[in-house]
Each structure stands twice: as C-alpha cells, then as structure tokens.
A and B are shown apart, each in its own frame.
Chain A
Amino acid sequence: MKAYRVAYLGSDGDAAIALENALKTLNFPFMRETGDPSGVQKAVEFQPDIVLWDIENSMPDETFPLEVLRKAGFERQPLVAVVKSGDVEGAVHSLAGGAVDFIYKPIREDPLPRMLAALNVGQKQLRLEWSNRVIEDTNDQVKGVLGNLADPAYIVSPEYQILWMNRAAEEIFGEGQRGGACHHVFYDRTEPCEVCQKSKGSARWRAMLKNGKSYRFISAVVRNGRGEVEKLAVGTDITPDEEVQKIHKTFISNVSHDLRTPLAAIDQYVNILLEGLAGELTEEQRSYVDVIGRSSFRLHNLVENLIDANKILSGDFKLRMEVVSIQDILDVVVHLLQSQAEDRGLAFQVQVADDLPPVYADKARVAQVVANIAGNSIKFTEQGMMQIRAGFMPRDEGRVIVSVEDTGIGVPKEDLGKIFELFYRVEKDKVYVEEGAGLGLSISREIVRAHGGTLWAESMEGMGSAFHFALPIYTGGQGQGAPAGQ
C-alpha cells in the first residue's frame, strides 16, 4: 500500500500522539504543526496527502478555513476536521465549510478508514471545485463580453430576481436594480411574464423597453459556480427593423393605391366606348378597345398579385379560419378552371373522396392555391387532361391531400427544386410562352405553410406534372379554434 503522508495542524498533544501511534503501524509519514501561518507553511513543505485541521485552531464562530488553507499551499489535499467528541455543530460547520470529513478526538478508533474515505471524497471535491472554478471563470468572461455590449443583457435567478445587468441595461432601467424582480423592474408587472412562466429554459421574445425601443431577446440557462441555475438574457435593438417595416408597409400601401386609381378610370372609359356612349364604334375600333380592356385587366391582376405576394412573403397577412370542407373550397374555383380547361380542349376532372373530414382553413386563400396550381397546369398543358383529386394522405389520416395532375410539358428536373422560389420562371427552350411574374407558387407555398401544411411537386419532363398539398384535418383541438358560427 502506498504510504500516505498525513499532517495534523493543531495544538492538541494527545490527539497528535494518538494519530502518530496509529499511523506508525502503517508506515504512514506523519507530522504535527500548529495552526498558525508558520506552522501551516511548514506543513505545506511536508507535502502531505491528507491534512487534518483541528477546529480549535479557529475562533468558535469562524468558518472552516478552506480558502485560507488552499491559498497557503494545500491546493488539492483533502482537508479533514478534527472535532472534539460530541461537537456535532463543529462537525457540521466544518463539512459545510469545505472539510471532506471529520474525526472526533480523543482518537479512540483506527483513523485509517476515515482517512482513506477522505482521500476518495477529496478527489471528487477537487474535480467539482475545479469545474466550478471553470464555470465561474467562464461566467466572468461572458459577463465581461456582455458588459460592454451596446444592447441590454442581464441574469436572473429562477425566482425572477435580477442578479446582474450590463451597463446598457442599467442605462435603461437605472442602477441599483439588482435583487429586484425582473418583471417589475423591466415591465412594471406584478406577476412574472408569460414567456418566463412558460419556459424555464431558453426562449425568444420581443419587448418594448422603457426607452421606447423594441428589442428581440434570447435567453439561455447558465449555471453559476455553486451549480445553481440562472437565466441569461440578451437583447437586440430591432427598432430600426420595425421602422423599416412600417415605412415599407406605408410605401406598398401608397404605391398600390396609386397603381389602382388610374386602372379604375381606364375601365370606365373602356366601358363608355364599348357601350357606345361616345358614339358607335367600328368593328376595328371595338377590337382595339377590347385589347385596352383586357390589358387593363391583366395589369390589374399583376398589381394585385404583387401586392398579395408582398403581404404574404413579408408575413403581413391574416387567415380567416373556418371549418370548411375540401369540396366547398374546390367549388369556389372549379367552375372557372373547367371553362379554362375546356377552352384549351383539355379533359377536366374533379374527384373528392367520400367521407373526407373538413379542414380548418381560410377558404378563399386555399381556393387561391388551387386556382394557382391548377391554372399553371392548364397553362402548360397543350393536350390531354388535367385533374384535381382530394383524399386522405396515405398512412396519415390526420391530413388530407389535394393533388393537381396534368399531361403537360412537365418541369425539367433541374428546375423542380426552384419553381417555388420567388420570381422563378422555367424558360428553357422558349417553352415559356405565357405571361406571369413567377409569384404564384411562392405565394401558394406560403399560404399552405401558414395553414400548417406542405406543398410539393413532382414531374416528368414531357409527361406531365403533379402538384400536391396536404392540410391538417379539423380536429376541434387546441389552436384550431371553435367551428365557425359558434
């Protein structure tokens, strides 16, 4: 067995002799010194494996001198308290202060088992102390970085108590707020905010602070050196983004107003001419005025699509949700699609599975998706057929799937992944002959996504395409709201 070196720091001669005798039989080197600094220093030079600290070295109310002994040179040794027999309080305080164990004096039992146990516990304690020191160092570094951030950052306890704020946060909320409840100091609330009540861990939220600016916050859980969980939150000033958004919204609103206004006048004058209110038109004149009317209609559609795309792609649109059947949604558009398909000489079919449950959706918006993808199908199909099918999603009865299939030119493989991108148009080999801004599929995908669904496409070039979208069925569950009319 390894000969462990043991040092006793204390003035109790009896205890020292008893220890020395017990350890001699094991050939453990032993030394005794007083607990004053010079004694401690000598003991450090002895390089013991275990240090026995007689608590009579300290004043009665003093805590166990863990830090003092560590700094003096016992950097990793387990420290064992030597306590007067029956001094339970002394033993408890020593353990609380960092001693790994205690032994009673006078020493009657063999001290070896307790010392070996102390060596073992000491190793664990060392590891813990080390990792806590690393955490403390890291936390200090983090605080150092966050301290100089231009945006607010703070740390709160699980009890919503402000433990630390950086300078930017102090500038907003004032100094000396540590210890206060975060919801009170930050937002003048009496109860913790919803985001903290909901999430104990990391979270994201937006808030307007007392300086009138808007911030996006992210929070994460951190552990302090004592192993306690704290929440660190860092804000980013998004006021400029919001201002840009507001300007953008006003700009779009004004531009669309100014684009629509002349269209209304054009339509009226076209009607005046066509109705003969400005005199009868010749056939030729009438055909030209027709062109003006159709062009105005196309321009109008384009303007509306652009405005719509802008709204949808910037997330600035609201769905009017209701419980609605797929059949009702299809009824909105099927009539128009059928006449379009027939004009092109295409066979047109609609098949809706029996007993298909309703979905919770914005009827007009989903109809817009169908009109869009079916309109594309008709546009890109020279001959053959186009069909719309609705049924259950295979292997997932929680979703219905609507498919639009055609026998058209198809989408080249390399384009299939890109067709949902904004302004993307397949123009290979001048196949693209129709008008369009490349907005429809992007808009459609966003609409389907906003319903919690998915939209995807498959195609064989020259054979046809199939576009599918799946929507969750109405379950009456949370987040789906009550059926319309209730």
Chain B
Amino acid sequence: MGEGQKLILVADDDKDLVTALSIRLRAAGYGVVGAHDGEEAFAVAQEHRPDLIILDVRMPAGGGFSSIDKIKHSLNTRNIPVIFLTAFDDEEMREEARRLGAAGFFRKPFDDAEFMGAIQSVLSRA
C-alpha cells in the first residue's frame, strides 16, 4: 500500500461483487480489503482500520446492521465512515442506517457514477 493511499473494506456475501468492486476501486487508486460475512467484516475492520467500510445489509454471521453497531462502539473503529449497500428496497432500512450513523446508503444495482462519487466525497471529508 502506497503512502497516503486510502484503504476501503468491502464486505458482501456476494463474492463476485466483492471481487469486481476490488478491481475497480484498486484501478481508481484505493487499497481494498474484502470480507464475506458480518463477523469477518468486524474482524477485518479491527485489524486493518480502513478509511472507509462498504457494508452489505444482509450477510451471514451478523448482517451489516449488527456489524456497524459493533464498529461504531469500538474505540478502534468508531470514526470510520460506513456506506451501506443492499438489494433491499426498504425505507425503514434506510432510516435505520441513518440512525446508526451511516455515511451513505446505496441500493443494488446502483448508479456507478453516484457510488464512486460518494466514496470519493466521504474519503475527502475523513
């Protein structure tokens, strides 16, 4: 990882999507670590302390909501911004994400330019 390179954790149980996002985010100049369930996401976040976490809502072993709860309660990771990514279309879910302190909420399939833009803007704020 180069000096000043931002690290992004992508956690999604769809491994193909994690791979694809990793390729594209690396191409955009970010460092990427991946996780495929809630527990792994928390563990990887603890270990790498990324600059941004992209979390799927529904994953095995604790979904995105329980992960963000743990992440935001850990001194080690509480200040890391979290962007949610889900294929659910649920207004209550969006509200819940906001309440839990999410920096963004995207529904799959998402508008690519908007998504990349949000990542950039969240990272520039951090």
Contacts and interface: CB of A to CB of B under 8 A. Distances in A.
A269 to B, nearest CB: 5
Contacts of A260: 87, 107-109
Q: Which of B14, B20, B110, B112 has the most CB of A within 10 A?
A: B20
A261 B87 CA distance: 6
Contacts of B88: 253, 256-257
A317 to B, nearest CB: 10
Contact of B112 (A256, A267, A278): A267
B100 interface: no
B24 interface: yes
B31 to A, nearest CB: 16
Contacts of A318: 91
A281 to B, nearest CB: 15
B16 interface: yes
A145 interface: no
B49 interface: no
Chief secondary structure at chain B's binding surface? mixed
A208 interface: no
B61 interface: no
A414 interface: no
A362 to B, nearest CB: 13
A268 interface: yes
Interface residues of A, number: 24
A264 to B, nearest CB: 4
Interface string B17-40: 100110110010000000000000
A266 B17 CA distance: 9
A269 B21 CA distance: 9
Interface in B61-101: 85-91
A278 B16 CA distance: 15
Contacts of A277: 23-24, 27
Interface in A88-135: none
B58 interface: yes
A264 B110 contact: yes
A263 interface: yes
Contacts of B91: 318
Contacts of B107: 260
Contacts of A267: 109-110, 112
A263 B23 contact: no
Nearest to B85: A264
Given A260-B109, A263-B109, A268 B87 contact: no
Interface in B1-27: 14, 16-17, 20-21, 23-24, 27
A31 B63 CA distance: 99
A257 B14 CA distance: 12
Interface string A336-373: 00000000000000000000000000000000000000
Please indicate which of the listed interface residues A258, A261, A318 has the most CB atoms of chain B within 10 Å of its own CB.
Answer: A261
B104 to A, nearest CB: 15
Contacts of B20: 265, 268-269, 271-272
Contacts of A271: 20, 24, 112
Contacts of A253: 88-90
Nearest to A320: B91
Contacts of B17: 261, 264-265, 268
A142 B23 CA distance: 74
B16 A265 contact: yes
Contacts of B23: 272, 277-278
Contacts of A207: none
Nearest to B88: A257
Contacts of B89: 253, 256, 307
A296 interface: yes
Contacts of A62: none
A263 B24 contact: no
A264 B24 contact: no
A275 interface: yes
Most buried by A among B14, B88, B108: B108
Contact of A272 (B24, B85, B109, B110): B24
A469 B110 CA distance: 32
A178 interface: no
A435 to B, nearest CB: 18
B19 to A, nearest CB: 9
A206 B51 CA distance: 51
B39 to A, nearest CB: 21
10 contacts: A258-B87, A259-B87, A260-B87, A265-B14, A267-B110, A267-B112, A269-B16, A275-B27, A300-B109, A318-B91
Given A260-B109, A267-B110, 13 more contacts: A256-B88, A261-B14, A262-B14, A264-B17, A264-B87, A266-B109, A268-B17, A268-B112, A272-B20, A272-B23, A277-B27, A278-B23, A318-B91
Interface of A: 253, 256-269, 271-272, 275, 277-278, 296, 300, 307, 318
Closest 10 CB pairs of A and B: A268-B20, A264-B108, A260-B87, A263-B109, A264-B109, A257-B87, A265-B16, A261-B87, A265-B17, A260-B108
